[in-house]
Protein backbone atom coordinates (compact mmCIF):
# COMPACT_ATOMS: atom_id res chain seq x y z
CA UNK A 1 0.00 0.00 0.00
CA UNK A 2 1.49 3.34 -1.02
CA UNK A 3 1.36 6.67 0.78
CA UNK A 4 -1.57 7.95 -1.30
CA UNK A 5 -3.63 5.01 -0.06
CA UNK A 6 -2.48 5.39 3.56
CA UNK A 7 -3.47 9.03 3.85
CA UNK A 8 -7.11 9.78 4.48
CA UNK A 9 -6.88 13.07 2.67
CA UNK A 10 -4.90 13.94 -0.44
CA UNK A 11 -4.55 17.20 -2.35
CA UNK A 12 -6.65 18.01 -5.40
CA UNK A 13 -3.60 17.53 -7.60
CA UNK A 14 -3.32 13.93 -6.39
CA UNK A 15 -6.90 13.29 -7.49
CA UNK A 16 -6.19 14.82 -10.90
CA UNK A 17 -3.11 12.64 -11.36
CA UNK A 18 -4.85 9.45 -10.31
CA UNK A 19 -7.77 10.06 -12.66
CA UNK A 20 -5.66 11.26 -15.59
CA UNK A 21 -5.11 7.86 -17.26
CA UNK A 22 -1.35 8.36 -17.04
CA UNK A 23 -1.36 12.07 -17.94
CA UNK A 24 -3.89 11.99 -20.77
CA UNK A 25 -6.81 13.78 -19.17
CA UNK A 26 -8.60 15.96 -21.71
CA UNK A 27 -5.46 17.64 -23.10
CA UNK A 28 -5.98 16.37 -26.65
CA UNK A 29 -9.58 17.56 -26.74
CA UNK A 30 -8.72 20.98 -25.31
CA UNK A 31 -5.92 21.47 -27.84
CA UNK A 32 -8.56 21.35 -30.54
CA UNK A 33 -11.31 23.46 -28.93
CA UNK A 34 -10.14 26.87 -30.15
CA UNK A 35 -9.94 28.42 -26.67
CA UNK A 36 -6.76 30.35 -25.75
CA UNK A 37 -6.32 28.54 -22.41
CA UNK A 38 -6.66 25.15 -20.74
CA UNK A 39 -8.83 24.08 -17.82
CA UNK A 40 -7.26 23.78 -14.37
CA UNK A 41 -7.12 19.99 -14.60
CA UNK A 42 -5.27 20.13 -17.90
CA UNK A 43 -2.97 22.84 -16.59
CA UNK A 44 -1.80 20.46 -13.88
CA UNK A 45 -1.26 17.59 -16.30
CA UNK A 46 0.49 19.77 -18.89
CA UNK A 47 3.35 20.28 -16.44
CA UNK A 48 4.28 16.63 -16.82
CA UNK A 49 4.50 17.22 -20.56
CA UNK A 50 6.90 20.13 -20.02
CA UNK A 51 4.35 22.94 -20.34
CA UNK A 52 3.25 25.68 -17.95
CA UNK A 53 0.25 27.82 -18.81
CA UNK A 54 1.08 31.42 -17.92
CA UNK A 55 -0.07 34.87 -18.89
CA UNK A 56 1.77 38.07 -19.72
CA UNK A 57 1.53 39.83 -16.37
CA UNK A 58 2.70 43.14 -17.84
CA UNK A 59 -0.63 43.22 -19.69
CA UNK A 60 -2.94 42.15 -16.86
CA UNK A 61 -3.99 45.58 -15.62
CA UNK A 62 -4.51 46.99 -19.12
CA UNK A 63 -6.58 44.02 -20.26
CA UNK A 64 -8.63 44.05 -17.06
CA UNK A 65 -9.39 47.75 -17.56
CA UNK A 66 -10.51 46.97 -21.10
CA UNK A 67 -12.75 44.18 -19.81
CA UNK A 68 -10.68 41.49 -21.51
CA UNK A 69 -9.34 38.17 -20.32
CA UNK A 70 -5.67 37.56 -19.62
CA UNK A 71 -3.22 37.14 -22.50
CA UNK A 72 -2.49 33.44 -22.08
CA UNK A 73 0.89 32.12 -23.09
CA UNK A 74 2.68 28.81 -22.64
CA UNK A 75 6.17 28.14 -21.36
CA UNK A 76 7.71 25.01 -22.89
CA UNK A 77 10.62 23.37 -21.08
CA UNK A 78 12.65 20.55 -22.62
CA UNK A 79 14.37 17.61 -21.00
CA UNK A 80 18.08 17.77 -21.88
CA UNK A 81 20.02 15.32 -19.67
CA UNK A 82 23.24 16.92 -18.51
CA UNK A 83 22.52 19.90 -20.76
CA UNK A 84 24.12 18.38 -23.88
CA UNK A 85 22.76 19.32 -27.32
CA UNK A 86 23.95 18.36 -30.77
CA UNK A 87 24.44 21.26 -33.22
CA UNK A 88 21.20 20.35 -35.00
CA UNK A 89 19.25 20.24 -31.75
CA UNK A 90 20.50 23.66 -30.67
CA UNK A 91 19.71 25.16 -34.08
CA UNK A 92 16.21 23.73 -33.90
CA UNK A 93 15.61 25.53 -30.60
CA UNK A 94 16.83 28.72 -32.28
CA UNK A 95 14.31 28.24 -35.09
CA UNK A 96 11.39 27.12 -32.93
CA UNK A 97 11.51 30.21 -30.71
CA UNK A 98 11.37 32.37 -33.86
CA UNK A 99 8.50 30.35 -35.29
CA UNK A 100 6.37 29.89 -32.19
CA UNK A 101 8.00 31.52 -29.14
CA UNK A 102 9.14 34.95 -28.09
CA UNK A 103 12.32 35.02 -30.16
CA UNK A 104 14.65 34.30 -27.22
CA UNK A 105 15.97 31.16 -25.51
CA UNK A 106 16.19 30.89 -21.74
CA UNK A 107 18.89 28.65 -20.29
CA UNK A 108 17.73 27.42 -16.89
CA UNK A 109 19.50 26.45 -13.67
CA UNK A 110 18.78 22.81 -14.55
CA UNK A 111 20.67 22.78 -17.83
CA UNK A 112 17.71 22.97 -20.12
CA UNK A 113 16.01 25.52 -22.37
CA UNK A 114 12.67 27.20 -21.85
CA UNK A 115 10.64 28.75 -24.65
CA UNK A 116 8.32 31.55 -23.59
CA UNK A 117 5.29 33.21 -25.21
CA UNK A 118 4.14 30.10 -27.10
CA UNK A 119 0.43 30.42 -27.87
CA UNK A 120 -1.87 27.50 -27.26
CA UNK A 121 -2.68 27.23 -30.94
CA UNK A 122 1.03 26.74 -31.69
CA UNK A 123 1.85 24.47 -28.77
CA UNK A 124 1.60 21.15 -30.58
CA UNK A 125 3.68 22.38 -33.53
CA UNK A 126 6.39 23.66 -31.20
CA UNK A 127 6.66 20.39 -29.28
CA UNK A 128 6.61 18.32 -32.47
CA UNK A 129 9.36 20.45 -33.97
CA UNK A 130 11.59 19.73 -30.98
CA UNK A 131 10.81 16.03 -31.21
CA UNK A 132 11.88 16.12 -34.86
CA UNK A 133 15.46 16.45 -33.56
CA UNK A 134 14.98 13.92 -30.73
CA UNK A 135 14.33 16.44 -27.95
CA UNK A 136 11.43 15.69 -25.62
CA UNK A 137 9.58 17.92 -23.20
CA UNK A 138 8.24 14.97 -21.17
CA UNK A 139 9.69 15.20 -17.64
CA UNK A 140 10.36 18.91 -18.10
CA UNK A 141 8.07 19.79 -15.18
CA UNK A 142 5.52 18.11 -12.93
CA UNK A 143 5.59 15.67 -10.02
CA UNK A 144 8.30 13.44 -11.44
CA UNK A 145 12.05 13.38 -11.90
CA UNK A 146 13.01 16.68 -13.54
CA UNK A 147 15.96 17.20 -15.89
CA UNK A 148 18.98 15.36 -14.48
CA UNK A 149 21.92 17.74 -14.23
CA UNK A 150 25.67 17.13 -14.30
CA UNK A 151 28.96 18.98 -14.48
CA UNK A 152 28.95 20.58 -17.92
CA UNK A 153 32.71 20.55 -18.59
CA UNK A 154 33.14 18.61 -21.88
CA UNK A 155 36.37 16.92 -20.88
CA UNK A 156 37.34 13.96 -23.07
CA UNK A 157 38.45 11.45 -20.46
CA UNK A 158 37.04 8.22 -19.04
CA UNK A 159 35.75 9.86 -15.84
CA UNK A 160 33.54 12.32 -17.72
CA UNK A 161 32.51 9.64 -20.25
CA UNK A 162 31.46 7.25 -17.50
CA UNK A 163 29.63 10.02 -15.66
CA UNK A 164 27.69 10.77 -18.83
CA UNK A 165 26.83 7.09 -19.28
CA UNK A 166 25.49 6.94 -15.74
CA UNK A 167 23.44 10.11 -16.20
CA UNK A 168 21.75 8.62 -19.27
CA UNK A 169 21.22 5.25 -17.57
CA UNK A 170 19.49 6.95 -14.64
CA UNK A 171 17.37 9.10 -16.95
CA UNK A 172 16.26 6.02 -18.86
CA UNK A 173 15.30 4.25 -15.64
CA UNK A 174 13.45 7.05 -13.85
CA UNK A 175 11.88 8.89 -16.78
CA UNK A 176 8.12 8.72 -17.32
CA UNK A 177 7.05 5.92 -19.69
CA UNK A 178 3.47 7.01 -20.40
CA UNK A 179 2.33 6.65 -24.01
CA UNK A 180 0.18 9.75 -23.54
CA UNK A 181 3.01 12.02 -24.71
CA UNK A 182 3.30 10.29 -28.06
CA UNK A 183 -0.46 10.11 -28.49
CA UNK A 184 -1.11 13.78 -27.75
CA UNK A 185 1.85 15.57 -29.32
CA UNK A 186 3.15 13.22 -32.00
CA UNK A 187 -0.12 11.84 -33.39
CA UNK A 188 0.35 8.35 -32.06
CA UNK A 189 -2.62 6.04 -32.12
CA UNK A 190 -4.57 6.26 -28.84
CA UNK A 191 -4.64 3.09 -26.81
CA UNK A 192 -8.10 1.61 -26.70
CA UNK A 193 -9.73 1.39 -23.31
CA UNK A 194 -8.00 2.02 -20.01
CA UNK A 195 -4.20 2.37 -20.11
CA UNK A 196 -2.30 -0.63 -18.79
CA UNK A 197 -1.38 -0.72 -15.13
CA UNK A 198 2.17 -1.46 -16.26
CA UNK A 199 2.39 1.69 -18.38
CA UNK A 200 4.26 3.44 -15.55
CA UNK A 201 6.12 0.66 -13.68
CA UNK A 202 7.94 3.13 -11.45
CA UNK A 203 5.45 5.98 -11.05
CA UNK A 204 2.25 3.85 -11.03
CA UNK A 205 -0.86 6.03 -11.46
CA UNK A 206 -0.03 8.71 -8.91
CA UNK A 207 3.52 9.69 -9.93
CA UNK A 208 5.49 11.44 -7.16
CA UNK A 209 4.22 13.68 -4.34
CA UNK A 210 6.19 16.61 -5.81
CA UNK A 211 9.04 17.32 -8.21
CA UNK A 212 12.31 15.43 -7.74
CA UNK A 213 15.82 16.48 -8.73
CA UNK A 214 18.99 14.47 -9.30
CA UNK A 215 22.38 16.15 -9.81
CA UNK A 216 25.80 14.67 -10.67
CA UNK A 217 29.07 16.27 -9.59
CA UNK A 218 32.69 15.15 -9.57
CA UNK A 219 34.33 15.52 -6.19
CA UNK A 220 36.32 18.73 -6.05
CA UNK A 221 34.15 20.67 -8.53
CA UNK A 222 30.76 21.83 -7.22
CA UNK A 223 29.72 23.85 -10.27
CA UNK A 224 26.22 22.31 -10.06
CA UNK A 225 25.46 23.12 -6.39
CA UNK A 226 25.11 19.41 -5.68
CA UNK A 227 23.73 19.91 -2.14
CA UNK A 228 20.65 21.71 -3.50
CA UNK A 229 19.23 18.54 -5.10
CA UNK A 230 16.81 15.99 -3.71
CA UNK A 231 19.57 13.52 -4.55
CA UNK A 232 23.11 14.72 -5.07
CA UNK A 233 25.44 12.19 -6.66
CA UNK A 234 29.17 12.78 -6.24
CA UNK A 235 31.58 10.78 -8.38
CA UNK A 236 34.86 9.55 -6.91
CA UNK A 237 37.51 9.10 -9.59
CA UNK A 238 40.25 6.56 -9.01
CA UNK A 239 42.83 5.40 -11.53
CA UNK A 240 41.26 7.46 -14.30
CA UNK A 241 37.77 5.96 -13.85
CA UNK A 242 34.69 6.47 -11.66
CA UNK A 243 35.06 4.03 -8.80
CA UNK A 244 31.79 4.89 -7.07
CA UNK A 245 29.46 7.58 -5.85
CA UNK A 246 28.51 9.30 -2.62
CA UNK A 247 24.73 9.77 -2.44
CA UNK A 248 23.39 12.89 -0.73
CA UNK A 249 19.66 13.25 0.00
CA UNK A 250 17.16 15.89 1.05
CA UNK A 251 18.36 19.06 -0.62
CA UNK A 252 15.95 21.70 -1.86
CA UNK A 253 15.62 25.47 -2.12
CA UNK A 254 11.87 26.04 -2.06
CA UNK A 255 10.15 27.80 0.82
CA UNK A 256 7.06 29.92 1.48
CA UNK A 257 7.88 33.17 3.27
CA UNK A 258 4.72 33.08 5.39
CA UNK A 259 5.17 29.45 6.46
CA UNK A 260 7.97 28.83 8.95
CA UNK A 261 7.57 25.09 8.50
CA UNK A 262 8.94 25.44 4.96
CA UNK A 263 12.62 26.11 4.47
CA UNK A 264 15.63 25.52 2.25
CA UNK A 265 17.80 22.54 3.11
CA UNK A 266 21.15 21.14 2.04
CA UNK A 267 21.37 17.45 1.17
CA UNK A 268 22.76 15.08 3.82
CA UNK A 269 25.15 12.17 3.19
CA UNK A 270 23.20 8.91 2.86
CA UNK A 271 25.99 6.53 1.86
CA UNK A 272 28.41 5.34 -0.79
CA UNK A 273 27.84 2.83 -3.59
CA UNK A 274 30.08 1.29 -6.26
CA UNK A 275 29.43 2.63 -9.73
CA UNK A 276 27.58 -0.52 -10.85
CA UNK A 277 25.00 -0.10 -8.06
CA UNK A 278 24.18 3.57 -8.58
CA UNK A 279 20.94 3.27 -10.54
CA UNK A 280 19.48 0.63 -8.22
CA UNK A 281 20.32 2.75 -5.17
CA UNK A 282 18.72 5.83 -6.75
CA UNK A 283 15.55 3.88 -7.55
CA UNK A 284 15.40 2.77 -3.92
CA UNK A 285 15.57 6.41 -2.80
CA UNK A 286 12.95 7.45 -5.33
CA UNK A 287 10.44 4.73 -4.49
CA UNK A 288 10.82 5.35 -0.75
CA UNK A 289 9.87 8.97 -1.43
CA UNK A 290 7.07 7.89 -3.77
CA UNK A 291 5.51 5.73 -1.08
CA UNK A 292 6.07 7.90 2.01
CA UNK A 293 6.10 11.48 0.72
CA UNK A 294 3.33 13.85 1.84
CA UNK A 295 0.45 13.78 -0.62
CA UNK A 296 -1.91 15.92 1.45
CA UNK A 297 0.08 19.15 1.83
CA UNK A 298 2.04 20.03 -1.30
CA UNK A 299 4.06 22.68 0.52
CA UNK A 300 5.45 19.96 2.77
CA UNK A 301 5.72 17.28 0.11
CA UNK A 302 9.40 17.46 -0.87
CA UNK A 303 11.89 14.76 0.15
CA UNK A 304 13.64 17.10 2.59
CA UNK A 305 10.55 17.27 4.80
CA UNK A 306 10.10 13.49 4.80
CA UNK A 307 13.71 13.06 5.94
CA UNK A 308 13.40 15.70 8.67
CA UNK A 309 10.10 14.25 9.90
CA UNK A 310 11.16 10.60 9.93
CA UNK A 311 14.89 11.02 10.47
CA UNK A 312 17.84 10.26 8.22
CA UNK A 313 18.48 6.92 9.94
CA UNK A 314 14.92 5.79 9.25
CA UNK A 315 15.20 6.88 5.63
CA UNK A 316 18.54 5.10 5.20
CA UNK A 317 16.97 1.92 6.59
CA UNK A 318 14.04 2.19 4.18
CA UNK A 319 16.37 2.72 1.23
CA UNK A 320 18.61 -0.19 2.23
CA UNK A 321 15.56 -2.45 2.52
CA UNK A 322 14.56 -1.62 -1.04
CA UNK A 323 18.15 -1.65 -2.30
CA UNK A 324 18.68 -5.10 -0.84
CA UNK A 325 22.00 -4.39 0.84
CA UNK A 326 23.70 -1.96 3.18
CA UNK A 327 25.11 1.31 1.98
CA UNK A 328 28.76 1.94 2.76
CA UNK A 329 29.57 5.00 4.85
CA UNK A 330 29.87 8.18 2.84
CA UNK A 331 33.37 9.68 2.86
CA UNK A 332 34.01 13.30 3.76
CA UNK A 333 33.81 15.34 0.57
CA UNK A 334 36.42 17.89 -0.45
CA UNK A 335 35.64 20.80 -2.77
CA UNK A 336 38.14 23.14 -4.41
CA UNK A 337 36.13 24.95 -7.07
CA UNK A 338 32.68 26.00 -8.22
CA UNK A 339 33.48 28.18 -11.24
CA UNK A 340 31.42 27.66 -14.36
CA UNK A 341 34.22 26.59 -16.74
CA UNK A 342 34.45 29.98 -18.42
CA UNK A 343 36.89 30.70 -21.24
CA UNK A 344 38.99 28.46 -23.47
CA UNK A 345 40.09 25.04 -22.18
CA UNK A 346 41.72 22.00 -23.80
CA UNK A 347 39.32 19.05 -23.86
CA UNK A 348 42.02 16.39 -23.68
CA UNK A 349 41.48 15.09 -27.20
CA UNK A 350 43.37 17.77 -29.10
CA UNK A 351 40.35 20.04 -29.33
CA UNK A 352 39.10 22.98 -27.25
CA UNK A 353 35.92 24.16 -25.57
CA UNK A 354 34.78 27.73 -24.87
CA UNK A 355 32.66 28.72 -21.88
CA UNK A 356 30.56 31.85 -22.48
CA UNK A 357 28.78 33.98 -19.88
CA UNK A 358 25.08 34.46 -20.62
CA UNK A 359 23.57 37.16 -18.43
CA UNK A 360 20.72 35.56 -16.50
CA UNK A 361 20.61 32.77 -19.08
CA UNK A 362 18.80 34.85 -21.70
CA UNK A 363 19.99 34.16 -25.26
CA UNK A 364 18.71 37.12 -27.23
CA UNK A 365 19.46 39.85 -29.74
CA UNK A 366 19.10 43.35 -28.31
CA UNK A 367 20.57 46.39 -30.06
CA UNK A 368 24.24 45.85 -30.82
CA UNK A 369 24.34 42.84 -28.50
CA UNK A 370 23.32 39.88 -30.70
CA UNK A 371 24.13 36.75 -28.76
CA UNK A 372 21.40 34.66 -30.38
CA UNK A 373 22.61 35.44 -33.89
CA UNK A 374 26.24 34.96 -32.87
CA UNK A 375 25.64 31.51 -31.39
CA UNK A 376 23.67 30.49 -34.46
CA UNK A 377 26.51 31.61 -36.73
CA UNK A 378 29.15 29.75 -34.70
CA UNK A 379 27.10 26.56 -34.43
CA UNK A 380 26.24 26.57 -38.13
CA UNK A 381 29.85 27.10 -39.21
CA UNK A 382 31.91 25.02 -36.77
CA UNK A 383 29.27 22.52 -35.59
CA UNK A 384 30.28 22.46 -31.91
CA UNK A 385 28.41 20.44 -29.34
CA UNK A 386 26.44 22.82 -27.09
CA UNK A 387 26.59 22.28 -23.33
CA UNK A 388 24.23 24.20 -21.05
CA UNK A 389 25.37 24.83 -17.49
CA UNK A 390 23.52 24.95 -14.19
CA UNK A 391 24.66 28.56 -13.80
CA UNK A 392 22.67 29.41 -16.95
CA UNK A 393 25.65 29.71 -19.27
CA UNK A 394 26.74 28.04 -22.52
CA UNK A 395 29.81 25.97 -23.39
CA UNK A 396 30.69 25.29 -27.03
CA UNK A 397 32.85 22.19 -27.50
CA UNK A 398 34.95 20.62 -30.23
CA UNK A 399 36.99 23.43 -31.78
CA UNK A 400 40.39 23.00 -33.37
CA UNK A 401 43.00 25.23 -31.79
CA UNK A 402 43.40 27.08 -35.10
CA UNK A 403 39.67 28.00 -35.00
CA UNK A 404 39.94 30.01 -31.81
CA UNK A 405 40.81 33.47 -33.22
CA UNK A 406 38.07 33.31 -35.84
CA UNK A 407 35.46 32.09 -33.36
CA UNK A 408 36.30 35.02 -31.10
CA UNK A 409 36.09 37.40 -34.07
CA UNK A 410 32.58 36.19 -34.95
CA UNK A 411 31.42 36.63 -31.36
CA UNK A 412 32.89 40.10 -31.01
CA UNK A 413 31.42 41.20 -34.35
CA UNK A 414 28.02 40.55 -32.76
CA UNK A 415 28.80 42.47 -29.57
CA UNK A 416 29.44 39.34 -27.50
CA UNK A 417 32.12 39.62 -24.83
CA UNK A 418 34.32 36.74 -23.77
CA UNK A 419 34.27 35.68 -20.13
CA UNK A 420 37.50 37.46 -19.15
CA UNK A 421 35.95 40.73 -20.33
CA UNK A 422 33.21 40.52 -17.68
CA UNK A 423 33.66 41.41 -14.01
CA UNK A 424 33.60 38.67 -11.40
CA UNK A 425 30.48 40.29 -10.00
CA UNK A 426 28.71 39.54 -13.28
CA UNK A 427 30.22 36.08 -13.78
CA UNK A 428 29.06 35.01 -10.31
CA UNK A 429 25.52 36.40 -10.64
CA UNK A 430 22.28 34.65 -11.46
CA UNK A 431 18.56 35.46 -11.54
CA UNK A 432 15.43 33.46 -12.20
CA UNK A 433 12.98 34.49 -14.94
CA UNK A 434 10.50 36.22 -12.64
CA UNK A 435 8.09 38.71 -14.14
CA UNK A 436 6.28 39.02 -16.49
CA UNK A 437 5.89 35.33 -17.34
CA UNK A 438 6.23 33.36 -14.09
CA UNK A 439 2.91 32.96 -12.33
CA UNK A 440 4.55 32.65 -8.91
CA UNK A 441 6.78 35.69 -9.06
CA UNK A 442 5.90 38.66 -6.84
CA UNK A 443 8.81 40.86 -7.94
CA UNK A 444 11.08 41.29 -10.93
CA UNK A 445 14.32 39.32 -11.00
CA UNK A 446 15.82 38.80 -14.46
CA UNK A 447 14.88 42.38 -15.33
CA UNK A 448 15.82 43.75 -11.90
CA UNK A 449 19.23 42.27 -11.18
CA UNK A 450 20.89 44.21 -14.04
CA UNK A 451 19.82 47.38 -12.23
CA UNK A 452 21.59 46.31 -9.03
CA UNK A 453 24.78 44.72 -10.34
CA UNK A 454 26.39 47.92 -11.72
CA UNK A 455 26.00 49.52 -8.28
CA UNK A 456 27.53 46.48 -6.62
CA UNK A 457 30.36 46.44 -9.15
CA UNK A 458 31.26 50.02 -8.23
CA UNK A 459 31.11 49.26 -4.51
CA UNK A 460 33.12 46.05 -4.73
CA UNK A 461 35.74 47.57 -7.02
CA UNK A 462 36.03 50.65 -4.82
CA UNK A 463 36.68 48.44 -1.81
CA UNK A 464 39.48 46.61 -3.59
CA UNK A 465 37.46 43.39 -3.82
CA UNK A 466 37.19 43.06 -7.60
CA UNK A 467 39.17 39.81 -7.61
CA UNK A 468 36.98 38.16 -4.95
CA UNK A 469 34.48 35.48 -5.90
CA UNK A 470 31.16 36.53 -4.32
CA UNK A 471 27.99 34.89 -5.57
CA UNK A 472 25.00 37.21 -6.02
CA UNK A 473 21.59 35.77 -6.86
CA UNK A 474 18.07 37.14 -7.19
CA UNK A 475 14.68 35.47 -7.37
CA UNK A 476 11.21 36.88 -7.89
CA UNK A 477 9.74 34.83 -5.05
CA UNK A 478 10.88 32.62 -2.15
CA UNK A 479 10.71 29.39 -4.17
CA UNK A 480 14.40 29.78 -4.95
CA UNK A 481 14.77 28.70 -8.58
CA UNK A 482 18.13 30.50 -8.87
CA UNK A 483 19.36 28.73 -5.72
CA UNK A 484 19.60 31.96 -3.70
CA UNK A 485 19.84 30.36 -0.26
CA UNK A 486 23.36 29.07 -0.83
CA UNK A 487 24.78 32.24 -2.37
CA UNK A 488 26.96 34.79 -0.59
CA UNK A 489 24.38 37.54 -1.23
CA UNK A 490 20.77 36.85 -2.17
CA UNK A 491 17.83 39.11 -2.99
CA UNK A 492 14.53 37.22 -2.72
CA UNK A 493 11.33 38.90 -3.89
CA UNK A 494 8.64 39.41 -1.25
CA UNK A 495 6.37 42.02 -2.84
CA UNK A 496 6.50 44.31 -5.88
CA UNK A 497 9.98 45.93 -5.97
CA UNK A 498 10.83 44.74 -2.44
CA UNK A 499 13.20 41.95 -1.49
CA UNK A 500 14.49 40.06 1.51
CA UNK A 501 18.29 40.13 1.75
CA UNK A 502 20.16 36.98 2.74
CA UNK A 503 23.87 36.87 3.55
CA UNK A 504 26.56 34.32 4.31
CA UNK A 505 26.17 31.44 1.91
CA UNK A 506 29.18 29.84 0.34
CA UNK A 507 30.87 30.17 -3.05
CA UNK A 508 31.52 26.41 -2.93
CA UNK A 509 27.84 25.69 -2.20
CA UNK A 510 28.32 24.00 1.19
CA UNK A 511 26.39 26.38 3.48
CA UNK A 512 23.02 28.09 3.67
CA UNK A 513 22.85 31.84 4.15
CA UNK A 514 20.69 33.67 6.69
CA UNK A 515 18.08 36.39 6.52
CA UNK A 516 19.65 39.83 7.05
CA UNK A 517 16.97 42.40 6.13
CA UNK A 518 13.35 42.17 5.02
CA UNK A 519 11.37 44.07 2.39
CA UNK A 520 14.21 46.23 1.11
CA UNK A 521 13.26 48.37 -1.92
CA UNK A 522 15.00 47.51 -5.18
CA UNK A 523 16.84 50.81 -5.38
CA UNK A 524 18.31 50.32 -1.87
CA UNK A 525 19.61 46.76 -2.20
CA UNK A 526 23.19 47.68 -3.06
CA UNK A 527 23.32 50.29 -0.29
CA UNK A 528 22.07 47.73 2.25
CA UNK A 529 24.93 45.32 1.61
CA UNK A 530 27.63 47.99 1.17
CA UNK A 531 28.44 48.20 4.92
CA UNK A 532 28.83 44.43 5.08
CA UNK A 533 31.16 44.44 2.09
CA UNK A 534 33.13 47.30 3.66
CA UNK A 535 33.46 45.34 6.91
CA UNK A 536 34.69 42.35 4.93
CA UNK A 537 37.34 44.48 3.24
CA UNK A 538 38.46 45.85 6.65
CA UNK A 539 38.20 42.89 8.96
CA UNK A 540 38.57 39.64 7.05
CA UNK A 541 41.30 37.18 7.86
CA UNK A 542 43.91 36.22 5.24
CA UNK A 543 42.33 34.04 2.55
CA UNK A 544 38.86 34.27 4.10
CA UNK A 545 35.95 34.23 1.65
CA UNK A 546 33.01 36.62 2.02
CA UNK A 547 30.50 33.95 3.10
CA UNK A 548 32.92 32.51 5.65
CA UNK A 549 33.46 36.00 7.06
CA UNK A 550 29.72 36.67 7.41
CA UNK A 551 29.12 33.33 9.11
CA UNK A 552 32.05 33.90 11.48
CA UNK A 553 30.74 37.31 12.50
CA UNK A 554 27.06 36.38 12.36
CA UNK A 555 24.36 38.47 10.66
CA UNK A 556 23.43 40.08 13.99
CA UNK A 557 26.84 41.71 14.04
CA UNK A 558 26.03 43.56 10.83
CA UNK A 559 22.53 44.49 11.94
CA UNK A 560 23.99 46.03 15.08
CA UNK A 561 26.22 48.28 12.99
CA UNK A 562 22.98 50.18 12.40
CA UNK A 563 24.16 51.58 9.11
CA UNK A 564 21.50 50.12 6.84
CA UNK A 565 19.09 52.36 5.01
CA UNK A 566 16.02 50.30 5.86
CA UNK A 567 14.95 47.91 8.57
Residues acting as catalytic residues = 77, 146, 211, 213, 432, 438, 477, 481
Distance CA 24, CA 16 (A): 11
Q: At what angle do helices 87-99 and 371-382 cross, to 10 degrees?
A: 140
- Backbone torsion region of residue 454, taken as left when φ is above 0, otherwise alpha when ψ lies between -120 and 50, otherwise beta: alpha
309 and 265 in contact (C-beta within 8 Å)? Answer: no
Distance CA 288, CA 2 (A): 10
473 and 429 in contact (C-beta within 8 Å)? Answer: yes
Contacts of 70 (CB under 8 A, 6+ apart): 37, 55, 56, 59, 60, 63
Within 250-384, strands assigned E span 268-274, 343-346, 352-356, 362-363, 365-366, 369-370
Distance CA 345, CA 550 (A): 33
The four Cα atoms 346, 215, 44, 205 give a dihedral, to 10 degrees, of 130
Contacts of 379 (CB under 8 A, 6+ apart): 87, 90, 91, 386, 396
User: Which residues does residue 269 pair with via DSSP β-bridges, in sequence order?
Assistant: 248
Cα separation values, 7 from 22, 249, 290, 307, Å: 21, 24, 13, 18
Distance CA 81, CA 62 (A): 40
Amino acid sequence: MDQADRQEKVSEVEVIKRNSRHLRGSIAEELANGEPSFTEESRQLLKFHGVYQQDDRDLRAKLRKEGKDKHYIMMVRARIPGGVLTPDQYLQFDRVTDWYGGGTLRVTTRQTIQLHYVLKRNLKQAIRALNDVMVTTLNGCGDQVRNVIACAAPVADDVHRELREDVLALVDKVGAKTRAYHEIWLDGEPVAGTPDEDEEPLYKDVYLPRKFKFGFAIEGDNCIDVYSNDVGIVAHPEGGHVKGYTILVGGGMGRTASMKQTYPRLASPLGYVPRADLVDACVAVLTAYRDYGNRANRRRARLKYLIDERGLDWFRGEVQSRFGRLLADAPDLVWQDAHDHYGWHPQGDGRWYLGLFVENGRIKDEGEFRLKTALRAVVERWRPTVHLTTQQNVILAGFAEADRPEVEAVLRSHGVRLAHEWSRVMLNSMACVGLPTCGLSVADSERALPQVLPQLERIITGLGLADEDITIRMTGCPNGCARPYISDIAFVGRSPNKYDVFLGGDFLGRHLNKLYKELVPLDQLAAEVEPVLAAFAREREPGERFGDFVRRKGVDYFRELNVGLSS
